[in-house]
Amino acid sequence: MATKTQEKMQDTVKVKETITGAEAVIKCLLAEGVDVLYGYPGGAIMPVYDEFYKYQDKIHHVLTRHEQGATHAAQGYARVSGKVGVAIATSGPGATNLITGIADAQIDSTPMVCITGQVAEHLLGTDAFQETDIVGISTPVTKWNYQITKASEIPEIMAKAFYIAKSGRPGPVLIDITKNAQFEEFDFEYKKCTSVRSYAPKTPVVNEKLKDAAELINTAKKPMVVFGQGVILGEAEAEFKAFIEKAGLPSAWTILGLSALPTSHELNVGMVGMHGNYGPNVLTNDCDVLIAVGMRFDDRVTGDLSRYAKQAKVVHFEIDPAEVDKNVKTEVAVIGDAKDSLAQILPLINKNSHTEWLEEFRNHDAIEYDKVIKGVLYPEKDGLTMGEVMKEINNASGGDAVIVSDVGQHQMFACRYAEFNQSKSNITSGGLGTMGFALPAAIGAKMGAPEREVVAVIGDGGYQMTIQELGTILQTKTAVKIVVLNNEFLGMVRQWQQLFFDKRYASTEMVNPDFVTIAKGYQIEAKRVTKREDLASTVQEMMRSKDAYFLEVCVEKEDNVFPMIPTGSSVSEIRLE
């Protein structure tokens, strides 16, 4: 219904006329500052879509080509913008198609609100058409979820959803709304949520813990920092940089921590983990104090836990108490938001430098360069490598682009070789490892940061999992740059088969379509590169384009990404070949 009078007082919106639940959903989104969201309509959510039609000048709905694409686009938007991403779908298969993206957002701590339609309340539990228990299905992979059966619940629940998704350690929230609640009318009033009983998103930093942590850091001879996405999510980049510079701390990153610190920074010593850099992995088992900031010690970082940093005293800066001592025993745990914790510990940290210790990282870098990096960036063989493609993207972007990578070998090459000058620039699926993530996430990222160049780096396998989102690019004219590194294999699986299964390439070789023709069918400029002499100029052409651009680069079919820590091995057993 039309609204006659509306007044805004701080975070409260009052409407002095009854409106439907469907219209209330839109007004809640607007009150939370949502200007773009991603979704796919259907019967159970149609009343809300009818309201989108009326409000299309105030809120931009992006019609993705699959509901999974909607969640990944919302993730890309959230990761680049720092805002809450929003996805919307109908009941049944529409809702279940959101689950992969929701699970991805949960493990990677991405703030997202998903809204699903549901059959009418009186039909719940009757196996009605397109009825699924999406609340039950999504419970393990959401930070919070709720089913609304009365229109009057909508304002309070929507306010809670946005507050919970964004506060503390972020995550996805799902709100399921029955069809009758969308049609019902009620007196609308919206008040932003600022607290929820029994939910404490931020823990006050304990001064004694700060003092204990500072003492360990100040007396360390071989300190090493491993930082993760908590620095980015906490918007603590400046505090983190001041912290490591004051204490002279060599700092390594997880793949989700990448870009929190410029890759060119003198204290940036590279990536830890299975395909990370040689120095930070080996020297993890040589440092005397290991300082973890906003990371969770997952298995791809630690390798064999029984042989991980056993000589070191561990200081863990972490917002989520559940992550402390879960995998690695800490000496001192500083619970709290990274921005607050680092700001408060900075006055307690002594000015220091660890020149000789830092030089050990550089010595390991030289070894890795000779054995691995030189051959990747400046290969003597005829075939193109994924690493040299990343080198040309760096040359063309100057380290200012957002790189959105999918999952597989190309992801590790992208993370290892991409250069970044600013935060929120590396967007990838970390904990869940979702193939098909990159293309829709790049669409969301470009909408979240339209002033920046966004380059999706994708393998030929993952690309075909969400290739239909080229239709979203066609309809929205989103100027993303798409680079498919085509080795005609599921490359990472093939690498494992080569190294650990005697080259039994079971179900990993790909027979691919003509990607260039497909892209042109979606009215996207497209080219294919097969020769080294054409690579740099074509990448430059792609980056200069004001529109969407597709580039297929045919790379070596049986190239591997090294270094590599085999499963079950210690980080110090990293292989260079």
Judge contact between 191 and 155, C-beta under 8 A: yes
Residue 542, token pair as written in the block: 């792609």
User: According to the model, what pLDDT value does residue 12 have?
Assistant: 65
Asked if residue 6 has pLDDT above 80, the reply is no
Does the pLDDT at position 41 exceed 60?
yes
Q: Which own/partner pairs from 540-545 qualify as long-range (CB within 8 Å, at least 24 positions apart)?
A: 540/392, 540/396, 542/396, 542/481, 542/483, 543/393, 543/396, 543/397, 543/401, 543/453, 543/455, 543/481, 545/479, 545/481
CA 113 to chain centre: 15
Q: Is 286 helix (H, G, I), strand (E, B) or coil?
A: coil
Element (H, E) at 317: strand 313-318
Residue 203 pLDDT: 87
Q: What is the pLDDT of residues 497-519, one digit of tens each?
A: 999 999 999 999 999 999 999 99
Q: What is the pLDDT of residue 13?
A: 63
63: DSSP letter: E
Amino acid at residue number 286: D
Residue-wise pLDDT tens digits, 522-536: 999 999 999 999 999
The proportion of the chain whose per-residue pLDDT surpasses 70, expressed as a percent, equals 97
Bridge partners (DSSP) listed for residue 384: 555
Closest CA to 325 of 311, 339, 304, 305: 305
Q: Would you say residue 407 has pLDDT above 60?
A: yes
pLDDT bin (cut points 50, 70, 90) of residue 4 is very low
Q: Which two tokens stand for residue 93?
A: 């298969």
289, 263 Cβ separation under 8 angstroms: no
Q: What are phi and psi of 307, to 5 degrees?
A: -125, 30
Question: Sorting pLDDT into bands at 50, 70 and 90, what band is 350?
Answer: very high
Overall average pLDDT of the 312-341 stretch = 96
Task: Specify the pLDDT at position 14.
Answer: 63
What CA–CA distances, in Å, run from 270 to 245, 251, 265? 16, 8, 10
Residue 577: CB atoms within 10 A of its CB come to 9
pLDDT at 7: 41
CA quadruple 479, 485, 486, 492: dihedral positive or negative?
Answer: negative
- Closest by CA to 167, choosing from 97, 113, 120, 212, is 113
Name the H helices within 261-303. 278-284, 299-302
Q: For residue 511, with 0-12 CB atoms within 10 Å meaning exposed, 13-18 middle and 19 or more buried, which class applies?
A: exposed
Catalytically active residues, by annotation: 67, 129-130, 179, 492
Task: Give the pair of three-digit tokens for residue 557.
Answer: 């079919």
Q: For residue 11, is pLDDT > 70?
A: no
Closest by CA position to 562, among listed 413, 382, 342, 429: 413
User: What pLDDT, on the 0 to 100 scale, is given for residue 21?
Assistant: 98
Q: What mean pLDDT, rounded, does the chain reach?
A: 95
Looking from the CA of 478 toward its CB, the CA atoms found within 13 Å total 31
Please state, in angstroms and as integers, the Cα–Cα distance from residue 174 to each residue in 117, 135, 193, 478, 535, following that order: 11, 8, 16, 27, 44
* For range 216-237, the mean pLDDT: 98
Mind listing the pLDDT tens digit for each residue in 355-398? 999 999 999 999 999 999 999 999 998 999 999 999 999 999 99
Contact 165, 172 (CB under 8 A): yes
* Residue-level pLDDT at 3: 43
pLDDT band at 187 (very low <50, low <70, confident <90, very high): very high
State how far the Cα of 412 lies from the Cα of 430, in Å rounded to an integer: 11
Would you mind telling me the total number of residues written for the chain in this entry?
Answer: 577
For 22-39, the pLDDT digits (tens) are: 999 999 999 999 999 999
pLDDT tens digits along 104-115: 999 999 999 999
Q: What percent of the chain has pLDDT over 90?
A: 95
The single-letter code of the amino acid at 496 is: W
Measured CA to CA, the distance from residue 97 to residue 430 in angstroms comes to 20
